[in-house]
Amino acid sequence: MKPVPVLVVALVPASLALAIAFGSVDLGAAQLADALLGRGDEIAREIVWGVRAPRALAAFACGGLLALAGALLQVLLRNPLADPTILGVSGGAAAGALAALLLGVGAAGLDLAALAGASIAAGAVFGFSQGRSGWNPYRVLLTGVALASGFGALVGLMLSLAPSLQVQGMLFWLLGDLSPAGDPTAALVVLAACAALAFSQSAALDAVILGEDKARSLGIAVKRLQAVAFGCATLATVAAVLLGGSIGFVGLVVPHLLRLAGVHRHALLLPLAACLGGSLLALADALARTVAAPAELPVGVVTAMIGVPVLLFLLARLR
Amino acid sequence: MLKAEGLAISAGGRELVRALDLSLAPGENWALLGPNGSGKTSLILALAGLRSPQAGTIALAGAPLGTYPRRELARQIAVLLQDEEADFWGSTFDYVMLGRYPRSKSAWGRDEEGAAAAHGRLAEVDLSHRAAQDYRTLSGGERQRARIAQVLLQDAEILLLDEPLQHLDLRHQALVMQILSGCAADGKTVLAALHEPGHAALHCAFSLLLYDAGRARLGRSSDMLTQANLEALYQCRLQAAGARSFLPS
């Protein structure tokens, strides 16, 4: 299992380089190298540093956040099918954003509305998760699924009420699309912070697999761990959704890919999930930008089209 | 010293323990005996600070259990649970190493000292040859020994064990009882829920008998483990089995 971490870490610069090298404008290798070094043609430099690099980093941040959230939720809820979308957070963000679009508020208001929607969903899931004997994974799952379909209905309602001109902009929130992603700095900071926080809990997350009583008897403050890990996963999901809408399957599949490759300990799994999720989404986004160039596909469509067969393949192998 | 006063525990609408005073001192080896459903597990969970009793206090070195941070408590009290989730992903060694958590400072949960100690504990329970094997592929008895090794690695002053002998063959039952006696001889406090009074008589100086409906009797095993007491405890007639009953010496 030693080569796996090395490969995953090496994939990070490789995927970012590929995401910067490919786009709707074909830059030659020499021109690309010049632009990367800050020399040569100004337009090429602008394409590389002003457009593709931020976009590639945004994709990386988004994928890393989703995979990290997925890995945390899967251990926290003891459910291999847990992923960021089951929290209802992306649904909440979409409903908030669509409401803002319908009301015609500006870009800042849009982000705020999405954030508000996501926070309401996360708060509701956390609030309802407390059963009679404390935290209950089934309640979390049920609340998340119920909220997600509730928000889905709200979204459908707003789509059917919206003037047809607005529907295009609304689809972004539903499909997942990185083309309007702006400056990725904030998301990268959130990714680093969440990864560090989650990493600090990795030994405790290893032990919590044995059940809450055993984990407590080993000295783990289980309630606090759950709050920290759940908060971390929620924050990561919200940051990812604000950047790229609801991009599916990265959060579900990436942690499983690593586990199948023999990475289980959370001290390795969590940072590697962030790296692999980021790399894969950067590659998927490069594909989304180039495959039908000059048109762009929503990256959520690409991840789902790759993610669904990958997941089915994994399920067949795990039988 | 783990001290319970006026302890009352009920579960599922049944009163399991009523007004129990119990004090477990360093160096004492206790057997906890009682029929199925008499509350052995509930009592152990309460003494470990994992469930709150309905009434009464439990104090460790004079301070109520609730005042200890979990990590500190885990350095003082180690618990072998009767059941736990068996879906552990790693090797037997990885599994045992989780017992190091309360004493290890690294996020990796790996330290040289702890790893050496874990190998020592595996050897103690006769499981060194399974150290690298996937934990999920162990047999029930091997898994039980790995769980005991994990509890021992915690190196706590007080050991509470819920049916430590379940799934074990005769030789390993004796091995585990000897390990527990050794812990008590080293000045640790041991309390183990057992189903075989023979083991209790052989290894445990003290016995706590838990009857149905919340009654309990406790004292020296030599006074407690009489035929009359055991017949009342298990609600069945007993006979000395003579030459056809075997316990490892």
For the beta sheet containing B189-193, the strands, ordered from the edge strand earlier in sequence to the opposite edge, are B77-80, B158-162, B189-193, B29-33, B206-210, B216-220
Q: Mind listing the pLDDT tens digit for each residue in B89-144? A: 889 999 999 999 998 866 555 688 899 999 999 999 999 999 999 999 999 999 99
Q: Residues A44, A80: contact at Cβ < 8 Å?
A: no
pLDDT at A217: 95
**What single-letter amino acid sits at B81?**
L
Say what the pLDDT of residue A300 is: 86
Whether the pLDDT of residue B239 is over 70: the answer is: yes
- Give the CB-side neighbour count of residue A80, counting CA atoms within 13 A: 12
Q: Is B99 on the interface with A (CB under 8 A)?
A: yes
The secondary structure of chain B as a DSSP string is -EEEEEEEEEETTEEEEEEEEEEE-TT-EEEEE--TTSSHHHHHHHHTTSS--SEEEEEETTEEGGGS-HHHHHHHEEEE-S-------SBHHHHHHGGGGGG--STT---HHHHHHHHHHHHHTT-GGGTTSBGGGS-HHHHHHHHHHHHHHT--SEEEEESTTTT--HHHHHHHHHHHHHHHHTT-EEEEE-S-HHHHHHH-SEEEEE-GGG-EEEEEHHHH--HHHHHHHHTS-----GGG-----
Q: A122-153 pLDDT, tens per residue?
A: 888 888 877 776 677 788 888 888 998 999 89
| Whether pLDDT at A218 is above 90 | yes
Comparing A168 with A96, the larger pLDDT belongs to A96
Tokens at residue B214, please?
């919340």
- Cα A32 from chain centroid (whole Å): 29
Q: Among partner residues B73, B81, B98, which is closest to A207 by beta-carbon distance?
A: B98
Q: What is the pLDDT of residue A88?
A: 84
CB of B1 less than 8 A from some CB of A: no
Q: Find, among B232, B221, B170, the residue nearest to B197 by Cα.
A: B221
pLDDT at residue A166 in the model: 78
DSSP label of A210: T
Q: Give the residue from chain A lying closest to B71, CA to CA.
A: A219
Shortest alpha-carbon distance between residue B38 and chain A (Å): 20
- A220: nearest CB among B70, B72, B106: B70
Look at A59-68, A178-187, A235-244, B32-41 and tell me which has the smallest mean pLDDT: A178-187
Whether residue B178 has pLDDT greater than 70:
yes
B121 phi, psi to nearest 5 deg:
-65, -40
What is the pLDDT averaged over residues B143-171? 96
**Alpha-carbon span A119 to A27, nearest angstrom:** 42
Smallest Cα distance from B102 to chain A, Å: 5
The span from the CA of A152 to the CA of A186, in Å, is 28
The residue ranking higher by pLDDT, B182 or A161, is B182
Question: CB distance A217–B72 less than 8 Å?
Answer: no
Lowest mean pLDDT among A166-170, A213-217, B123-127: A166-170
Measure the CA–CA gap between A287 and B123, rounded to whole angstroms: 54
Q: In the prediction, which pLDDT does B106 show?
A: 62
Please list, residue by residue across A189-211, b when 16 or more beta carbons sit within 10 angstroms of its beta carbon and e when fewer do. Answer: ebbeebbebbbebbbbbbbbbbb
Instruction: Give the mean pLDDT of chain A.
Output: 86
- Any residues with CB less than 8 A from the CB of B51 and at least 6 apart, and which? B9, B42, B45
Q: What is the DSSP letter of A295?
A: S
The pLDDT-based confidence of B39 (bands split at 50, 70, 90) is: very high
pLDDT at B216: 93
pLDDT at B105: 62
Find the Cα–Cα–Cα–Cα dihedral B1, B6, B12, B14, rounded to 10°: 130
- Are A259 and B89 in contact (CB < 8 Å)? yes
Assign A87 to helix, strand or coil. helix
What residues in B contact A211, CB-CB < 8 Å?
Answer: 81, 84-85
Rounded to whole angstroms, the Cα distance separating A48 from A54 reads 9
Query: What does the pLDDT read at residue B212?
Result: 83
Whether residue A286 has pLDDT greater than 80: yes
CA of B51 vs chain A CAs: smallest distance (Å): 9
ipTM of the complex, rounded to two decimals: 0.93
Residue A319 pLDDT class (50, 70, 90 cuts): low
- A 10 A CB-CB count for A167 gives 14
- Could you report the per-residue pLDDT of B3-29, keeping only the tens digit for each? 999 999 998 888 999 999 999 999 999
Of chain A, the percentage scoring pLDDT greater than 70 comes to 97
| Tens digits of residue pLDDT in B46-94 | 999 999 999 999 999 999 999 999 999 999 999 999 998 878 888 999 9
Instruction: Tell me if chain A has a CB within 8 Å of the CB of B69.
Output: yes
List, as one string, the DSSP characters of B147-164. HHHHHHHT--SEEEEEST
Q: Please state the rounded mean pLDDT for residues A61-80.
A: 92
3-state secondary structure A4-55: HHHHHHHHHHHHHHHHHHCCCCCCCHHHHHHHHCCCCCHHHHHHHHHHHHHH
Which pLDDT score is estimated for B208?
97
Mutation for testing the A interface, residue in B45, B101, B150 having most A CBs under 10 Å: B101
Q: Is the pLDDT of residue B247 over 80?
A: no
How high is the pLDDT of residue B243? Answer: 65
Whether the ω angle into residue A294 lies within 30 degrees of 0, i.e. cis, is: yes
Task: Decide if pLDDT at A220 tops 90.
Answer: yes
Cβ-contact B204, B196 below 8 angstroms: no
**Mean of the per-residue pLDDT values of chain B:** 92
Does B68 touch chain A if contact means CB atoms closer than 8 Å? no
Residues 6 or more apart from A277 whose CB is under 8 A from it?
A63, A64, A65, A66, A67, A68, A70, A250, A251, A254
Confidence (pLDDT) at A59: 95
CA dist., res. B83 & res. B193, Å (int): 13
Find the mean pLDDT for residues B157-181. 96
What's this model's pTM, rounded to 2 decimal places? 0.90
Q: Are A140 and A127 in contact (CB under 8 A)?
A: no
